[in-house]
Amino acid sequence: MKTIYICIALVLSSLYSFAQQDSQYTQYMYNTVNINPAYAGSRDALSIFLLHRTQWVGLDGAPVTNNASLHMPIGDSNFGVGLSFVNDRIGPATENMISADLAYFIQISANYKLSVGLKGTANIFNIDVNRLNIFDQNDPQFQNLNADFTPNIGAGLYLFSDATYVGLSIPNFFETKHYNDNDVAITREKMHFYLIAGHVFELSPSIKFKPAFLSKIVEGAPFQLDVTANFLINEKFTIGGAYRWDSAVSGLVGFQISNSMFIGYGYDMETTKLSNYNSGSHEIFFRFELFNNNRVTSPRFF
């Protein structure tokens, strides 16, 4: 069995050597619950979020991510709950993650709340051997790769007001080893540390400036920093840009279709040598909200 693990590990290593382990999002400020469970319920509404990301278009086996999530407060209590699903495909590997979030909110001042959150995740990892170049198609070792299931837990803190937020989170505490036979594991997913922050500056009654950043630290990988600057015009149209440290520059647009519906699009252009082999990355999302309690008095992008 060790032989099969080594073969597949070599196939995946060419992709994972320059790819992220956790799903990567350019428009992270709209999708915070995916990395920080303390965000669940913070929008005071039933918030439904759908996202599709196609990364490094034109590069065979490049990552494709689909994400669906919902979260909401529990009545007038101090609790919020969330549920999310992420489908990641990269090369012959498919990873499905289902997460449940629970958050508790503490009013620490007139303007700020502190939320503490817990996340529980079920991870299902699968290899499509039909996409591998196998010398002997009848090798029985390649007929017994069933889906690999692993559970995990995470936690987060989220401090926010109507115009500011800071969050610190670890979505998964435990290192995950897929198809591990004690000698060789195909992939090892390390613990990720996230720090996010953002603020809304009112430049005029019709224009608001919205800077934000996300930083990610993971053992054995370069430090990642995303810096974003958006402008909200007439509380309807959003336009801006982003920079991912030593990796990519991005353009962002969004439109508030109605009080309950918002749609956004992002395009990434690589700044590394990888740009010679792909035509960029595309990301589109849709957010729909119901039962808004109208307790948020100033525009928010988080």
Task: Of 287, 264, 200, 288, give the one whose Cα is nearest residue 26.
Answer: 264
Percent of the chain topping pLDDT 90 = 61
Residue 13: C-alpha distances to residues 40, 99, 173, 224 (Å) = 34, 27, 23, 20
Up-side HSE of residue 10: CA atoms within 13 Å toward CB?
Answer: 8
Q: 144-200: per-residue pLDDT in tens?
A: 566 778 899 999 999 999 999 999 999 999 876 655 554 544 556 678 899 999 999
Q: 73-93: per-residue pLDDT in tens?
A: 999 899 999 999 999 998 888
pLDDT of residue 126: 84
Task: Of 45, 23, 18, give the one whose Cα is nearest residue 34.
Answer: 23
Q: What is the pTM of this model?
A: 0.85
Query: Over the range 140-158, which residues count as b (16 or more CB within 10 Å of their CB) and which as e?
Result: eebeebeebebebebbbeb
Report yes or no: 47 and 167 within 8 Å, Cβ to Cβ. Answer: no
Given a cut of 70, is residue 11 above it in pLDDT? no
Domain regions of the chain by residue span: 22-291
Structure tokens given for 195: 């720090």
Structure tokens given for 29: 């400020």
Lowest mean pLDDT among 65-69, 91-95, 127-131, 135-139: 135-139
Fold of 22-291: Porin (2.40.160)
Q: Determine how many CB atoms are found less than 10 A away from the CB of residue 279.
A: 12
Average pLDDT, the chain: 84
Residues 38, 39, 43, 45, CA torsion sign: negative
